[in-house]
Structure 1
Amino acid sequence: MSDSDSNNARQTGDPDANNPGFPKISNSEHFFIVGGFDVIMKLLLILTGLMTLGAAGIEIVGIYENGTIDLADILMMFLYTEVVAMVVVSYTGRGSPFIYPIFIAITALSRLIVLQGKEMDPQNILFEAGSIVLLAIAAIVIVRLPRR
């Protein structure tokens, strides 16, 4: 790339002009490709939300039929709530989409410890508790990072 091409790229603000190996696409192609994938993403998010609500409904019916509420049931409802929150954040674009998967992982590990606590090797419980601490530290770091 010559100096004049490089200066032209800086003046037009076209980032693709600096990379001659990058394929050029028109604005209409960009609109249809990005727009198409955006529509697919939103449809899949709606489907994920509906499936989560269905699973939560099935869980509630199971709790009603058993007549008891266990700690594992409550943690499962938190998992469903966090998945719905993650769908909302992903759909609207507001908030940090990286926090909710961390919360889901923390809740899932907690549920695993609760469900298998008596049968588990104490060393595995320590590993899972350490994983929860590591995930909590990661969540704090992500929340505290300055946003641009």
Structure 2
Amino acid sequence: MDTRTEGFKQVRGFFTLGLSAVEYVGLLVVGFATSYSMFQETQTMVAAGRVGLSDLLLMFLYLEVLAMIGQYFRAGQLPVRFPLYIAMVALARYLILDLKEMSETRMLAIAMAILLLTVAVLVIRYGHLRYPYLEEAERAGRPEPAAPLPGTTPPPA
């Protein structure tokens, strides 16, 4: 099958446009649902007359989801760090909420999971800064990656 034909390009463009539309509608639904949940949680806090640490962490979870959606709308891509941040906050909230009923082994496992996610974010950030994607390097005015790849010599300046 020749993928260079005009008909194939039109079909691919049609499907790409359709998938993008479904993707944006899905993001809008998630954004509205998150905003509504955040509003409901705020009403619950006002009715209770108090705000606990778990409530604040839940609000941060909502904000992270909204930030993730906003980043996708702005840049058209989603950094893998955002879901990792959400997972860290969710685990911290779980640890705080169930601390009294939790065994020491489970507490240690959750703390280690948070530490592992933190290390993953640091590794991803380091790799992204040290070895940027080629299109990002070109946009920044650098035709080459910021650092030479291991085992290669740097290009002459």
Residue 57 (structure 2) aligns with: 75
Deviation at 1:42, TM superposition (A): 0.7
Deviation at 1:57, TM superposition (A): 0.1
Poorly superposed stretches of 4+, deviation over 4 Å: none
| Counterpart-to-counterpart distance in 2, 1:95 and 1:32 | 20
Residue 101 (structure 1) aligns with: 83
| Matching residue within 18, 33, 39 for 2:15 | 33
Alpha carbons 2:57, 2:93 under 8 Å: kept: yes
Residue 86 (structure 1) aligns with: 68
TM-score (norm 1): 0.81
The CA deviation string for residues 85-108 of structure 1, in whole angstroms up to 9 with x for no partner, is 111122222675211100000000
SS at match of 1:26: helix
Deviation at 1:143, TM superposition (A): 1.3
| Counterpart-to-counterpart distance in 1, 2:17 and 2:77 | 22
Identity, in percent, stands at: 30
Deviation at 1:147, TM superposition (A): 2.0
Question: Residues 118-137 of structure 1: matches in 2 within 5 Å?
Answer: 118-137=100-119
Structure with the bigger percentage of helix:
1
Residue 154 (structure 2) aligns with: none
| Matching residue within 34, 37, 49 for 1:55 | 37
TM-score (norm 2): 0.76
| Counterpart-to-counterpart distance in 1, 2:69 and 2:126 | 22
Between structure 1 and structure 2, the one with the greater Rg is 1
Relative to 1, partners in 2 of residues 1:96 and 1:134: Cα closer, same or farther, differing over 3 Å?
same
Relative to 1, partners in 2 of residues 1:94 and 1:26: Cα closer, same or farther, differing over 3 Å?
closer
Alpha carbons 2:68, 2:78 under 8 Å: kept: no
Number of equivalent positions? 128
Higher relative CO (Cα under 8 Å, sequence separation at least 6) belongs to: 1
The CA deviation string for residues 73-131 of structure 1, in whole angstroms up to 9 with x for no partner, is 00000000000011112222267521110000000000000000011001100000000
| Counterpart-to-counterpart distance in 1, 2:79 and 2:72 | 6
Matched, 1:45 2:33: no
Question: Residues 12-31 of structure 1: matches in 2 within 5 Å?
Answer: 26-31=8-13
For structure 2, the 5+ residue unaligned runs are: 134-157
